[in-house]
Amino acid sequence: MVMKGREIILGILQSGPHTGYEINDILQTRLSHFFDATSGMIYPTLKKLGTEKLVTKQQISQTDRPNKNIYTITKAGKTAFSKAMSEPTSDEILKSDVLMRLYLVKIYRPNGYQNFFRKKLNVRKPNWRRYKSSWQPGWQMA
Amino acid sequence: MVMKGREIILGILQSGPHTGYEINDILQTRLSHFFDATSGMIYPTLKKLGTEKLVTKQQISQTDRPNKNIYTITKAGKTAFSKAMSEPTSDEILKSDVLMRLYLVKIYRPNGYQNFFRKKLNVRKPNWRRYKSSWQPGWQMA
DNA sequence: CTGCGCATGTAACAAGTTACATGATTTA
DNA sequence: TAAATCATGTAACTTGTTACATGCGCAG
């Protein structure tokens, strides 16, 4: 099973009750490297977790600031989270832009980006004989 | 811009004409570490690329095997792909199950999985004094 | 007086997953 | 004879993104 927004939010709520705003903040700051969240996902998810009785909601009225809802994880929620944590990890897939680009370059530009970038940057072709190293530019096809 | 199925497929077609089946095969074998694809995504995407004139379709009738459609990238398709490749890379987000789990453990199980796993595996608590190292087990909270 | 922090939420949309349907040929 | 390979595709569904709406208080 994959670690989705559902489980992430349940996991955060294990550290104590939080508002949606706080959950958003934690995701945007401390967990931004693993997961990116938006309010358009957090609030609907919290609502759904509520209807599934995995969290409870406590409304706090405020006058100077907008009202807030504090969410607390229930026993059923803790069970659900533990179950998700003990299930096998999904394949580690790096949906990586960089890696993908590097890989695709090999397919469609066998000689690499040398000339492409040289023209873009308006740089002259270097005189490789000036360098003592035996290294020569160019892709080594697998 | 993110490297999505659209661009991935265009990138593969730069290496030559391919059928949907072949594209699927390439993604499932050679590119599975960066991206995972399903036929439910590939065929609709190819169709859409066709209506956008980024690829052309050539139907091949076969008697012993199912008919196949060979897709070729057009000039417009190559332009679109090059443009996507030259756009800034999206933030490298590792939507990593493993990393996320390790991080969340800190939140909801401050002393780590020590006792949890010891009980699961039915192992006795080790006698740490037997080890010369000054290292002691346990999480170091940040 | 502009913008930020607090605080929640919806609606339309985009993208991808799952499950299914079809069907001949070949391999174990 | 069961399963894999070839080969395409749809429909329902899940998940998440983008853009927007609301509105007070406070700091620069």
| pLDDT above 90 as % of chain B | 44
Q: Which residues contact A68 (CB under 8 A, 6 or more apart)?
A: A19, A21, A59, A60, A62
Mean pLDDT of chain B: 77
Q: How high is the pLDDT of residue B107?
A: 57
Chain B residues close to A81, C-beta within 8 Å: 108
Q: How high is the pLDDT of residue A114?
A: 47
**Could you tell me if A29 lies within 8 Å of chain B, comparing CB atoms?**
no
Q: Are residues B63 and B107 in the same domain?
A: no
Q: Are residues A76 and A99 in the same domain?
A: no
Pick the residue from chain A with its C-alpha nearest to B36.
A93
**Cα separation values, B62 from A85, B23, B66, Å:** 49, 19, 6
H/E run at residue B81: helix B75-86
Q: Are residues B8 and B38 in the same domain?
A: yes
Which CATH number covers residue B75?
1.10.10.10
Q: Is the pLDDT of residue A122 over 60?
A: no
How far B90 CA sits from the closest chain A CA (Å)?
Answer: 7
Q: How high is the pLDDT of residue A141?
A: 28
Chain A residues close to B108, C-beta within 8 Å: 11, 14-15, 81
Q: Note whether A97 contacts B2, CB cutoff 8 Å.
A: yes
Number of domains in chain B: 2
CA of A26 to C1' of C7 (A): 15
CB atoms within 10 A of CB A103: 17
Among A36-40, A91-95, A97-101, B114-118, which range has the highest average pLDDT? A36-40
pLDDT higher for B67 or B3? B67
Q: What is the pLDDT of residues A64-80, one digit of tens each?
A: 889 999 999 999 999 99
Q: How high is the pLDDT of residue A33?
A: 84
Q: How high is the pLDDT of residue B27?
A: 93
Going along chain B, which residue ranges are E strands?
Answer: 18-19, 55-60, 68-73
Give the DSSP letter of residue B90: P
Q: Note whether B92 contacts A108, CB cutoff 8 Å.
A: no
Q: Are residues B17 and B58 in the same domain?
A: yes
Q: Are residues A86 and A103 in the same domain?
A: no
Give the separation between CA A65 and CA A115, rounded to whole angstroms.
58
pLDDT confidence band for A1 (50 / 70 / 90) = low
Q: Please report where in the chains the tokens 């990138």 appear, as a residue.
A: B11
Chain B residues close to A95, C-beta within 8 Å: 3, 34-35, 93, 95
Q: What is the pLDDT of residues B80-131, one digit of tens each?
A: 998 888 887 777 777 788 878 878 776 555 444 444 444 433 334 444 444 3
**Could you tell me if A34 lies within 8 Å of chain B, comparing CB atoms?**
yes
Q: What is the 3-state secondary structure (H, E, C) of chain A?
A: CCCCHHHHHHHHHCCCCEEHHHHHHHHHHCCCCCCCCCHHHHHHHHHHHHHCCCEEEEEECCCCCCCEEEEEECHHHHHHHHHHHHCCCCCCCCCCHHHHHHHHHHHHCCCCCHHHHHHHHCCCCCCHHHCCCCCCCCCCCC
Q: How high is the pLDDT of residue B132?
A: 36
Give the separation between CA A132 and CA A107, rounded to whole angstroms.
31
**Cα separation values, A81 from A15, A63, A74, B102, B107, Å:** 12, 35, 11, 14, 13
Give the separation between CA B53 and CA B47, rounded to whole angstroms.
10
pLDDT confidence band for A81 (50 / 70 / 90) = very high
Which of residues 47 to 106 on A have a Cβ less than 7 angstroms from any strand D atom? 63-66
> B41, B128 in Cβ contact below 8 A?
no
Q: How high is the pLDDT of residue B103?
A: 80
pLDDT confidence band for B43 (50 / 70 / 90) = very high
pLDDT confidence band for A107 (50 / 70 / 90) = low
pLDDT higher for B75 or B92? B75
Expressed as residue numbers, the domain containing A108 is 94-142
Q: Is the pLDDT of residue A84 over 70?
A: yes
* Stretch B16-29: mean pLDDT: 94
Of A81-95, B21-35, B51-65, B77-91, the poorest mean pLDDT is in: A81-95
Query: Which positions of chain D lie under 7 Å from any protein Cβ?
Result: 6-12, 15-20, 22-26
**pTM recorded for the entire structure:** 0.74
Q: Are residues A46 and A114 in the same domain?
A: no
Give the separation between CA B135 and CA B110, rounded to whole angstroms.
18
pLDDT higher for B120 or A25? A25
Tokens found for residue A38: 């938006």
Q: Are residues B36 and B66 in the same domain?
A: yes
Q: Are residues A82 and A102 in the same domain?
A: no
How far A129 CA sits from the closest chain B CA (Å)?
Answer: 31
pLDDT higher for B7 or B108? B7
Q: Are residues A99 and A87 in the same domain?
A: no
How far A124 CA sits from the closest chain B CA (Å)?
Answer: 21
Q: Measured from the CB, is B26 under 7 Å from any atom of strand D?
A: no
